[in-house]
Amino acid sequence: MKKINPSMKISAIALLVFMLFFTACEDPASNNNNIPTNPTPDPTEVETPSDPIDNTPDDGRRPLYLQGAYATTNNNLVGNIFDGKTATSWQSKKGAGPDEGIMLLFQNKIFIKKIAIDAAQASGIAKIEEMIFYGDDIPCGKGKTGESINIGDTYSSLFIRFGKTDNTTEVKVEDKAKKGVVRKFSNSHSVGIQNIKMWDEDGKEYRLILPRKVSAKITASSTLDQASKYGVSNLFDNQKATAWVEGVDGNGINEQLTFELSEKVNIDEIQIWNGYQRSPNVYQTNARLKGFSLGEVGGKDYEYTLRDDDAGQKIDLRVPLKNSFSLKINSAYDGSKYQDLAISEMLFFENGVPLQLNKGGSVEKNDLSQEAKGTNLESLLNTRIANEMDYGPSGFYADRSIILRSDGTFSMYLTEKLYPETEDGDSETYETMANGTWEIQSANASKSIIKLTGKLIDISAALAEQQGNNEQAEIVQVFTDKLTIENNLIRGEQILDEIMIR
């Protein structure tokens, strides 16, 4: 509400008229409240105007409310990292170790002076000998658990990738075309961490706080194709590469999302990551949310508008939401190729504290373990397969790895070096990483064919751009590749050349 300067000399009658008019404009029941409002600026671009209410005792650390966090495997255990308890930890699935990781998402860009990670202590936990840190998808540091690792920059996300570990076997390979090793992590071991510590620019430690979890039943009036691929769970998985996509003809006008929370809350802000954010191109090809209505079920709806922007857009709600409310699509930004409207992620706030909904119900992510049973895929699930090969006759060296997870996701890291051609002996290095989803096209005991769909990040191009001399293609690309697994070899058609299995 606007403040009136007390020094203003106005008559009592004029003041009374003004106050009556102003009060009418502020009436929540007024029709003026249905005029679309612009969201507040993207929190990744500006500082939050006020700090969240923090009711925990001051222990000398600087409170930092995360936008979210997720693990590439055993994501249900990621909260153990932030609970402050020495008896709990996050651990990967058995056989899943190197190239798995933890993603931290920040509400604003923050400065990270240094970071330290405490390893989990339990039987069957492999020793982590190397971690690689990626700030906003670009490598920004390396180190071991138990030591302080300098970062020294500002980021909106930080990915912690577990690299070299013990309990990894190597099989030597040598023929006329190549020589090197095939690496495989032990099927009876995991990697695990107990705690993550970070420090700000002044050397003060952050106290990392996850969004408060609230159980909820979330339903959509329609969903595109398989609910496990485009369902409402994607709205709260902290991964902007996944999305809820409506499933009716047209661009989703009048489709609704309904939220029934298990407890009464006081949601006064909502943040939405619009569109299908797997890549900038995918964002443009699909329809995006423009105007929408939001309100309590059986109560009054209020209208809001989003920009056509892939940044997270935070909106102050006119009337707080309690425990049963719905969002209805009123208008959309057209996709250049598809009419399907998508929303990648949502986050709610109560007095500045982020709330993340835990969806109930029977529809969950894919589980391909049963489909792979009895095929040559079965032994590969949730296990990192890696090759380090010198292809002498072809003139290059390659370090490649892939993880095919039973939940239908994958990670892939590819590094290739051309033999030196310059006078100073330098060699060209091309480094990429990819992640996304995979599906089985055919599978039996001797041969399987799978399809990868994902996002490819050209790390070499990103580093070159950071240095101001990138003349390469776009850094982020969406790709598909068909992999054939046969005769102890994984061979691709587009992105992956080959990875040997032993």
For 102, residues 6+ apart whose C-beta sits below 8 A from its C-beta are 69, 70, 71, 72, 78, 81, 90, 159, 160, 193, 196
What pLDDT, on the 0 to 100 scale, is given for residue 392? 85
Please give the distance of CA 348 from its chain centroid, rounded to a whole number: 17
Instruction: Look at residue 393 in the predicted model and tell me its pLDDT.
Output: 82
Non-local (6+) Cβ contacts of 480 within 8 A are 451, 452, 453, 494
Residues 141, 149: Cα–Cα separation, whole Å: 7
Q: Residue 28: its pLDDT value, please? A: 32
| Strand ranges (E), 72-130 | 90-91, 101-119
Per-residue confidence (pLDDT) for residue 421, from 0 to 100: 56
Q: What confidence score (pLDDT) does residue 10 get?
A: 38
pLDDT in tens, the chain (502 residues): 333 343 433 343 343 333 333 333 333 333 333 333 343 333 333 233 345 555 666 788 999 999 999 999 999 999 999 999 999 999 999 999 999 999 999 999 999 999 999 999 889 999 999 999 999 999 999 999 999 999 999 999 999 999 999 999 999 999 988 999 999 999 999 999 999 999 999 999 999 999 999 999 999 999 998 767 899 999 999 999 899 999 999 999 999 999 999 999 999 999 999 999 988 889 999 999 999 999 999 999 999 999 999 999 999 999 999 999 999 999 999 999 999 999 999 999 999 999 999 875 433 456 899 999 999 999 999 999 999 999 988 888 999 999 999 999 999 999 999 876 555 556 688 899 999 999 999 999 999 999 999 999 999 888 888 777 766 567 888 899 999 999 999 999 999 999 999 8
| Per-state percent for the chain, helix, strand, coil, to nearest 5 | 10, 45, 40
Which tens digits make up the pLDDT trace of 162-178?
999 999 999 999 998 89
What pLDDT sits at residue 474? 76
pTM for the predicted model, two decimal places: 0.84
Give CB contacts under 8 A, 24+ apart, made by 59-64.
59/207, 60/205, 61/204, 61/205, 61/206, 61/207, 62/200, 62/204, 62/205, 62/206, 62/207, 63/206, 63/207, 63/209, 64/106, 64/110, 64/198, 64/206, 64/207, 64/208, 64/209
Q: Hey, what CATH class is 62-209 in? A: mainly beta
- What number of helices (H) and strands (E) belong to the chain? 5, 30
Q: 212-359: CATH homologous superfamily?
A: Galactose-binding domain-like (2.60.120.260)
d(CA 266, CA 467): 46
Q: Count CB atoms within 10 A of the CB of residue 316.
A: 12
Q: What is the dihedral of CA 155, 271, 89, 242, to 10 degrees?
A: -90
Q: Tell me what pLDDT residue 502 has.
A: 85
The answer to whether the CB of 339 falls within 8 A of the CB of 251 is yes
